[in-house]
Structures are given as C-alpha cells and as structure tokens.
Copies of this chain bind each other. A is one copy, B any other.
Amino acid sequence: MSLREIEGELVRFRDERDWKRYHTPKNLAISIAVELGELLEHFQWRENEEILASMNDPAERENVEDELADVLIYLVLLAHELGIDLEKAALKKIAKNARKYPVGGRE
C-alpha cells in the first residue's frame, strides 16, 4: 500500500468525524511531537540491546508499533494539510542525500 493510499484512508477517517477544523499545521505538528514523546518513553531508561530484546514481548511490541504508527499518521496528515506529496518529497530527499554523501566519500 502506498503512502498516498494511507493518506486517503486518513483523510476519509477525518472527514467522517468532521475533524478537519482541528487539523491546523501547528496542531498536527504538535501532535507529531506528542506521539514521538510517547514512542521515546519506551526507550527512555533502556539500553539499545534491551530495546531490541523488548520487541520479542508481544505487548511491548504492539505498543511501540502503535506509537510509530501514530507518528506516521500525523506526519501524513500534516503533509496533506500543507499540500505536500510526502512520498515524492521522500524520494527527492533520498536522491539529494545520495548526491551529498556519495558512496566511498568522506562522511
């Protein structure tokens, strides 16, 4: 499924609930920060190895999946509100990065 189809789902979800009025750029940007905070809570006092191991715990895994999803959801909604094609923006940025950091070049 493409990012554009996920965007379509989210916009339909929002319109069915008449929530567009809440979806200002600032509110959506703040929402990304809120969800990122919730994601980071799972990493807060754990070492990297513990974080990776915690993914074997089904409940913890599902919680982290939900937080990652929430960050993505608000990111897609923010791009939508700004009239930005997130998929195209990502591919363009990857191409830019490839020029900026050529393989075999200095980091």
A residues neighboring B (CB under 8 Å): 1-3, 6, 9-10, 13, 16-17, 22, 24-27, 29-41, 43-45, 48, 51-52, 55, 61, 64-66, 68-73, 75, 78-79, 81-84, 86-87, 89-94, 96-98, 101, 103, 107
Pick the residue among B51, B70, B86, B98 that contacts A69 (CB under 8 A).
B86
A48 to B6, CA, bound (A): 24
Q: Tell me if A's interface is mostly helix, strand, loop or mixed.
A: helix
- Report the minimal beta-carbon distance from A47 to chain B, rounded to whole angstroms: 9
Q: Are B44 and A27 in contact (CB under 8 A)?
A: yes
A26 contact set on B, CB distance < 8 A: 26, 30, 43, 48, 51
